[in-house]
């Protein structure tokens, strides 16, 4: 079973994704960057929110693009990464490539759970 991580400070969104995808994937959610970075398990794919708010003044301050770059350059093997944003609509996903060229795909938060599932499957099956 593929291992998927979801990183977003919106715990409700994380839980929604987890509930929807858990039938097909081993899902772990993280609400802070440091939780993910401190967790030494490898993931096949990571869904990362563009704006992850630090939970405290000691939290690693990193936006989603910086986190993707960090994962791609430090983790072996590097996970596939989907940048998720509430600032990009489904019609403007091309802007995501300009924002974060290290991401493997881009997803608008309002895309819906079924679209999220299809994108995750497509990326994992194409590797």
DSSP for residue 59: S
Report the CATH number at residue 21: 3.40.50.2300
* Total residues found in the chain within this entry: 127
Q: Number of structural domains, the chain?
A: 1
pTM of the model: 0.88
pLDDT reported for residue 8: 92
pLDDT reported for residue 98: 66
d(CA 74, CA 71): 5
The string of pLDDT tens digits covering residues 44-77 is 999 999 887 665 566 567 889 999 999 999 998 9
d(CA 75, CA 68): 10
Q: Which residue's structure tokens are 């194409």?
A: 126
Between 110 and 17, where is the model more confident? 17
Domain span holding position 53 = 3-126
């Amino acid at each position: 079973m593929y291992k998927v991580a979801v990183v977003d400070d919106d715990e409700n969104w994380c839980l929604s994704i987890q509930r929807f995808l858990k039938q097909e994937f081993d899902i772990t959610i993280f609400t802070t960057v440091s939780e993910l970075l401190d967790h030494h398990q490898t993931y096949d794919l990571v869904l990362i929110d563009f704006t992850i708010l630090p939970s405290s003044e000691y939290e690693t301050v990193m936006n989603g693009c910086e986190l993707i770059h960090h994962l791609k350059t430090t983790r072996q093997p590097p996970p596939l990464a989907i940048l998720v944003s509430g600032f990009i609509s489904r019609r403007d996903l091309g802007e995501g490539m300009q924002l974060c060229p290290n991401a493997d795909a881009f997803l608008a938060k309002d895309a819906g759970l079924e679209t999220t599932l299809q994108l995750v499957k497509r990326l994992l099956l194409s590797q």
